[in-house]
Amino acid sequence: MSTRERFGARLAKAVASRGPLCAGIDPHPGLIEAWGLPVDASGLERFALSATEVLAARAAIVKPQSAFFESFGAAGIRVLERVVETARDAGALVLLDVKRGDIGSTMAAYTAAYVADGAAIAADAITVSPYLGFGSLEQCAATAVSAGRGIFVLARTSNPEAAAVQNAKLPDGRTVAQAIVDSAAALNAGAEPLGDVGVVVGATIAPGEARSRAAERSGAGTRFRGPGSHCGRSSGDLRAGTAGSAARVVSRHPEARSGASGFAPSGRTRRRSAGRPAGKRPIAGPGTGPHQAPPHCGRCSRVGTVASPTQI
């Protein structure tokens, strides 16, 4: 057992001290280009580390999307490692968006890579997929908790294709997504103020579609993370979608639909920022530079996600 404090407890403290902000670092090629940078490892490094330096100084959580780093090969992974290190040095928690999910020794290897003691890319928490069966994640969850880390389990995601699987009904009448939420909440039984296992529920879901019944019974603090709010939906929509839950919601900030990193800082902004302490630097946003964010995919692009965890 690690001497590190539980992830749920650390998250609660981070939100209490820094406010409810989770900032995504999603170095999409279109965003790198919008910043006037080359779409190669050097552009990735400048984009990702610049965004991390500014955002991690203020946000409770920084959420790098691993795929955008992996696409640059070994050089991209080295940048990801620096992003994790930079965010942690600035006092932010790191939620690494990798969506791993497998069985047996393969899942054990993913666990060792990210959330075990001595992990190669040691995040505070990772996203995982339960669609090889929730039981395939239980050892990962146990290892993460033992190491003072956490996991977020995909439950009801924002993409339209997911509904056919995630809303399928089980013999007991629950949807597959609801069963996943209940299983995650059960792992958090008795955890205060927050558990170490969260779930991902998109802000585009219908009202009341997912709720944490087990959390209601046990008082466990199961967290909902909600991508998809930028598709014209807000954290209030996600609260409606998880109505009646005792959970906390992590959802995209409704005023940041294009994402903090979707706007390149102008030279003037960079110069002003350089002269300020890290904690006083402005977060890039609309009007801070001449570039517009690239078009979204039209469904649920997570380019430059900015999220706001709010208690229901």
Asked if the structure places residue 1 within a domain, the reply is no
Asked if the structure places residue 18 within a domain, the reply is yes
Asked if the structure places residue 102 within a domain, the reply is yes
Report pTM.
Answer: 0.76
Using CA atoms, how far apart are residues 215 and 227, in angstroms rounded to an integer? 21
Q: How many domains does the chain have?
A: 1
The residues that are catalytic are 99
Q: Residue 257's domain is classified under what CATH number?
A: 3.20.20.70
The 3-class SS string of the chain reads CCCCCCHHHHHHHHHHHHCCCEEEECCCHHHHHHCCCCCCHHHHHHHHHHHHHHHCCCCCEEEEEHHHHHCCHHHHHHHHHHHHHHHHHCCCEEEEEEEECCCHHHHHHHHHHHCCCCCCCCCCEEEECCCCCHHHHHHHHHHHHHCCCEEEEEEECCCHHHHHHHCCECCCCCEHHHHHHHHHHHHCCCCCCCCCEEEEECCCCCCCCCCCHHHHHHCCCCEEEECCCCCCCCHHHHHHHCCCCCCEEEEECCCCCCCHHHCCCCHHHHHHHHCCCHHHCCCCCCCCCCCCCCCCCCCCCCCCCEEEEEEC
pLDDT tens, position by position, 81-100: 999 999 999 999 999 999 99
- What is the percent of the chain where pLDDT is above 70? 66
How many Cα atoms occupy the beta-carbon half-sphere of 280 within 13 Å? 6
Asked if the structure places residue 174 within a domain, the reply is yes
The 3-class SS string of 56-89 reads CCCCCEEEEEHHHHHCCHHHHHHHHHHHHHHHHH
Task: Return the exposure string of 48-83: e unless at least 16 CB atoms fall within 10 Å of the residue's CB, then b.
Answer: bbbbbbbbbbbbbbbbbbbebbeebeeebeebbeeb
- The average confidence (pLDDT) of the chain is 76
Asked if the structure places residue 215 within a domain, the reply is yes
Interstrand relation of 306-311 and 248-252 (parallel, antiparallel or unpaired): antiparallel
Asked if the structure places residue 2 within a domain, the reply is no
pLDDT tens, position by position, 252-306: 433 333 355 555 555 444 434 333 433 333 333 333 333 333 333 333 333 333 3
Answer with the residue of higher pLDDT: 135 or 298.
135
Q: Which residues pair with 61 in a beta bridge?
A: 22, 93
Answer with the residue of higher pLDDT: 126 or 295.
126
Average pLDDT for residues 1-16, to the nearest whole number? 89
- Structural domain range at position 37: 7-296+303-311
Q: Tell me, what's the pLDDT at 216? A: 43
